[in-house]
Amino acid sequence: MKTIGHFIDGKRVAGKSDRTKDIFNPNTGEVQAKVSMATPSELDAAVKTAAEAQVKWAATNPQKRSRILFKFKELVEAEMDELASMLSSEHGKVIADSRGDVIRGVDVIEFACGVPHGQKGEHTYGAGPEIDVYSMRKPLGVVAGITPFNFPAMIPMWMFGMAISTGNAFILKPSEKDPSVPMRLAELFIEAGGPVGLLQCINGDKEIVDAICDNETIQAVSFVGSSDIAQYVYARATANGKRAQCMGGAKNHGILMPDANMEQAVKDILGAAYGSAGERCMALPVVVPVGEGTAEKFLEHMLPAIEAMKVGVSEDAEANYGPVVTAAHRDSIEADITKAVEEGATLLVDGRNFKLQGYEDGFFIGPSLLDNVTPDMETYKDEIFGPVLQIVRADTFEEALKLPSEHQYGNGVAIFTQNGRAAREFADRVEVGMVGINVPIPVPVAYHSFGGWKRSAFGDANQYGMEGLRFYTKVKTVTQRWPEPEVNDDNAFVIPTF
């Protein structure tokens, strides 16, 4: 049985702890490897070498740092098929989706290659008599990222791409459910010419999360996961004087207007609700048809579309989605479906107890569709994070707008319409951080930034883009003058004015 350790000082090392966790193959249900749970002392040792590497890296000119990231991007792209296969084998998503996971991470690396331009400061010549003022953006030092199981390539690259490009060292704590891709990314960074110790990968659980939040050398923490843990990490990290950006859960709505292109909308919603087995924080698990006629028309198109879907193993090119990540997660999703029925929802398609022939022990669950869901139901309020689509019917545009605006989560939302005025008003008024107009999964491109509102995000800085650059740097402002040799007779006890 293979045991995965950590990536420290530029190489893979065995863990020193006897504690391990199982890594499953979600397609078969078998344990395919174990991963070592690091101790706080192992983290401290990694942070120490990271701090040493960071000093020299911060002094390296930005153009050289960018060239290493360009090479890293090239290596990741060359190894795309291997990375996607490795990702699918531990996560369960189909290969095409795993490739998308890697590609969206590479997009941010590509943006980070141009950070030297964004990191430039400001300059004012002659702000006062013979006085110039200029600013510079300095790296924080050693920073850390805690990433979730559902995007083991994309989200680590979102974080360490921006952190490293701005001159920081990075400690990555990936999910213990699928750590192989993050470990390989750390290796590829070394192969690209990155300094030893600058990017380190420490596997662990809550003990290491707490150690990261408490470590005095680590200056900032980036987190993506559930809202409860995001709030916990944010509170603990900031209590220790660190910067923190902590992204939480979601319950994204798709508002379906009567004038929507129904065939296109159904296709988009189908993929957004069930793709990656619903294990996306930007999935679309709630559809809100406006008007009874719209709801009935939607069902007329959606039911046969669900019937035609194929659930299969990760490497089945014809499968729409694969298994969920663990048996425990599958059981949790099925329990939520049962609870929704008990709360009064109408179960139109039941994905429970799904078995794939030849893979009966895999963590598969069929697509489910729940109608007549209401805002007072707990299964509407909470995130299910599986291949379950809920229909909440609305009579008017105002009623539909109110649903995502008043929900505890505010990550993403979409509206499907051909009315530009309605779309513009919706985008302006909805209380959600990321909005799609006829776009079901509105994840911003790399040169914008990713971030939700309300319980979907804790902290005031978004991921990647210029927001990410600002998060991983601090501003230093210099006011200088070069006076003539004669003595200045100004009163030095009075605050200077220009």
Q: Is 281 a catalytic residue?
A: yes
* b/e sequence 73-106, b meaning 16+ C-beta within 10 Å: beebeebeeebbebbbbbbbbbbebbbbbbebbb
CB 150 within 8 A of CB 26: no
Helices 80-91 + 180-191 axis angle, to 10: 160
| Cβ neighbours of residue 148 closer than 8 Å, sequence gap 6 or more | 155, 175, 224, 225, 281
Sign of the C-alpha dihedral, residues 375, 376, 379, 384? positive
Rounded Cα gap, residues 237 and 224, in angstroms: 14
Instruction: Tell me the residue ranges of DSSP E strands in 229-294.
Output: 243-247, 253-256, 286-289
Amino acid at 458: F
- Report residue 476: phi and psi, to 5°: -115, 130
Task: Retrieve residue 286's tokens.
Answer: 């709630």
3-state class (DSSP) for residue 458: strand
- Annotated catalytic residue: which of 113, 201, 246, 281? 281
Reported as type and span, the H/E element at residue 199 is: strand 199-201
Token couple for 346:
């109408």
Query: What string of DSSP letters covers 20-47?
Result: EEEEEETTTTEEEEEEEPPPHHHHHHHH
Task: Check: CB of residue 272 under 8 Å from CB of residue 440.
Answer: yes
Residues with active-site annotation: 281
